[in-house]
Amino acid sequence: MATALARGLVTAGLATKDRIIAADPVSAACEQFAQTTGGRIVATNCEVAAAAKVLFLAVKPQQMTAALAELREHLTADHLVISIAAGVPLAAMAAGLGSGPRLVRVMPNTPCLVGSGASGYCLGPGATPADGELVGKLFGAVGRAYAVSEILLDAVTGLSGSGPAFVYLMIEALSDGGVRAGLPRDIALALAAQTVRGAAEMVLVTGEHPAVLKDAVTSPGGTTIAGLAALESGGARAAMIAAVEAATRRSAELGTLANQGK
């Protein structure tokens, strides 16, 4: 996620490669980050804090307690700390970092890499309206960003944070269906991906409810209603709803574990 976001910010022109600095205990992750973003790698998080005033905490929830402890003595009110760790509440961040830095919590997703991300964010202790504007600008430049209350961030995680994986599964399944119907694999995959992209753009551009757009494609006794009936029979709608609910619950569980230092 850190790589996707950094690459997206550089592509959007909001940061230059020489101003991207990162640290990671995994050398392979450092190499990938540097190759993909052109950013500079340093040995520790503290070195990042010494060189930058806007910090992104892109760690697994289980690693957050250790990361906060490492940074606590190196952050001041001049630092804006933006956490993109799933499930870790602002209260846990404030307890770990103390009263120094300004805090914001964001849940982005990996399509930030191609400028089509979907993010939810909320302001925490010390954060100012100007900080909110900056975060909205940063994440809005790599997609769409929405201010929400913190209590809704687990739902954002379950929907748009995990959602790309659900959509990739859908694209793969549509492609498999095309192959089963006789299409070459490369054409089936391209048609499936473009169809999902086009349908999503129709929702965003027209502002119409998906049900209205669905009905516009569905002729009486036609091919689309036959396919929709098969999807409903297979429980596709319920499965998607359940997937978002399951991911939301897991986000909350991870936050609980992070609070317990696990």
Give tens-digit pLDDT for 232-252.
999 999 999 999 999 999 988
Residue-level pLDDT at 157: 93
Edge to edge, the sheet with strand 80-83 lists 54-57, 80-83, 102-107, 117-123, 143-147
Dihedral, CA atoms, 12, 18, 23, 28, nearest 10 degrees? Answer: 80
Q: Where in the chain is the domain with CATH 3.40.50.720?
A: 2-148
**CA–CA dist 151, 20 (Å, integer):** 31
Say if residues 100 and 76 touch (Cβ distance below 8 Å). yes
Residue-level pLDDT at 258: 62
Torsion-angle region of 261 (φ positive above 0: left; ψ -120 to 50: alpha; else: beta) = left
Q: Where in the chain is the domain with CATH 1.10.3730.10?
A: 163-250
CATH of 2-148, one of 3.40.50.10490, 3.90.580.10, 3.20.20.60, 3.40.50.720: 3.40.50.720
The answer to whether the pTM exceeds 0.85 is yes
The CATH code that applies to domain 163-250 is 1.10.3730.10
Residue-level pLDDT at 159: 97
Residue-level pLDDT at 261: 58
Residue-level pLDDT at 7: 85
- In the chain, which stretches have pLDDT less than 50? none
